[in-house]
Amino acid sequence: QMATALGVKVIATAGSDEKCAMCESLGAVKAINYNDHDFVSESLRITGIGVDVILDMVGGTYIQRNLKSLADDGRLVQIAFLESAKADLKLAQMMTRRLSITGSTLRPQNDLVKQRIAEGLQKHIWPHLASGRIAPIMDSEFPLAEAARAHTRMETSEHIGKIVLKI
């Protein structure tokens, strides 16, 4: 939603047709079900040249596949490592195609950096929230006493959106 609101053409990946439909309803021009289709060949087919930026939260074996999905001069941004923080890389591919890999997380940032990020969000994203153009996607809400049930819901692949504990 945020990228689309800022004018970015988004291709998303998700693990079910229902989740892909949700991504497209939120502005993705295409969503690829990674359980049914190879996202590398699909993203190359859709764009003809590859994608400019990939935000990846899986890591591991996906890193090499992500690099194949990038257009020349593309950037891979690691934002988490659900699979693994280790990967076998072919660095020559990065050099000849001028690819870059970077990472991002808020945890180790100092207060000044976090303040600048917050100011950027306030300037560029909050107006879209205020207008209703973007909004958080809510899956379900549980009373705090049912936190275990909320965790069970979170561990399924069925949920789409945030699971909230109500205090």
Give residue 109's pLDDT.
86
The pLDDT, as a whole number, for residue 105 is: 84
Six token digits for residue 14: 């998700």
- On average, the pLDDT of the chain sits at 94
> Per residue in 94-121, pLDDT tens?
999 999 999 988 788 899 999 999 999 9
| Tens-digit pLDDT profile for residues 51-94 | 999 999 999 999 999 999 999 999 999 999 999 999 988 899 89
Cβ count near 7 (within 10 Å): 6
Q: Residues with Cβ < 8 Å from 12, sequence gap 6 or more?
A: 20, 23, 24, 28, 30, 31, 32
What confidence score (pLDDT) does residue 104 get?
A: 87
